[in-house]
Amino acid sequence: MAFGKALAVAAIVALTLVLLLRTDHDYASARKVSPNKEKHIPQLGLGTWLSDRDEVAHAVEYALDNGYDHIDAALVYKNENQTGKGIKASGVDRSKIWVTSKLWNSDHRRPEAEAAIQKSIADLGVDYLDLYLMHWPVAFVPEEGTRLDKDTSIVDTWRTMEDFVRQNYTRHIGVSNFARAQVQAILDVCDICPYAHEFETHPYLQQQDFVDWHRRADVDIKVIAYSPLANTNPTYRDKKGSLVDPIFKDPFWTKLAKAKNATVVQTVLAWGMQRGTVVIPKSTQEKHIAENRGALDIAFSKGEMREISKRDKKVRMNDPGKSWGVKLFVDLDDPTSFDGEDIEL
């Protein structure tokens, strides 16, 4: 009898050891979503691209003190330490703020990538990130300018980023500036799949089919719209943005804004949110930061949304592909053309 009990105990122990020793691969199918999805990305955030280092800290502090709970940053913006000072000065509890940063092209190899995310976390003064994005689907050889690293694929980089979630550096990971086929390539292999995709989209580059594709059940990726105000950025107006009228002077948008008793900026941002994207307008001016929140109170009818869809000009403002020697956005509107002028980030 005692011998039988001993065998039973041994069998239970053996089974427990088998379960404990199962490989990560065995659990891959159960991990096919990004973790911690109970905390969702806020629909309105403060962008920090091209924000002056001397102004961004106050802008971030002011935004967080006045209702914002989402800050979009990146290592290559060269102002994350000032952004971090603004976060700290606000006194808002870390758990109440969504913080995004991005992995630059020269940091796609594992050692550089880990050093980069650690630097972003330290500069931003946080213990972890809510979202970490692969900034572009392009790898550069470390410390060799924009020379392409043809030995490091986006899948290799994605595997590294998955480990950042496991190491608690970031709650979520995602991509930025990817073509549809490149997103699909990640979806085909991911264990921890993209939570969000940040890319240029606005009334002059709507890409609504692409936005809607992300919302499909088999994709399930949030869309973050950068440059949501089209060519209001002087960088764009002086280059590709000059192909179209500044959106704040566009007769269609000025008329619609008047009907909504709002500014053009508020109206455009409201459209961006209603169509299913997160918007991250950049500003360092208190007046504009406060006004942008007014977009949360504006709604459009189905008819108005249809009319807006007809104003798509399919003009992309930000495309560094030519200078990098890479064709970007190949299956999207206005892909890289080596015959035209591109804009460097």
Write down the number of H helices and E strands in the chain.
Answer: 13, 8
Q: What are phi and psi of 200, to 5 degrees?
A: -70, 125
Active site residues: 77
Residue 135, marked binder: yes
Cβ within 8 Å of residue 232, ≥6 positions away: 246, 247, 248, 265
Cα-Cα end-to-end distance for the chain? 76
Cβ within 8 Å of residue 151, ≥6 positions away: none
Nearest to 270 by CA among 246, 305, 236: 305
Cβ within 8 Å of residue 333, ≥6 positions away: 205, 207, 314, 316
Dihedral sign from CA coordinates of 134, 139, 143, 147? negative
For the chain, the maximum distance between any two Cα atoms, rounded to a whole number of angstroms, is 91
- Residues making up the annotated binding site for substrate are 135
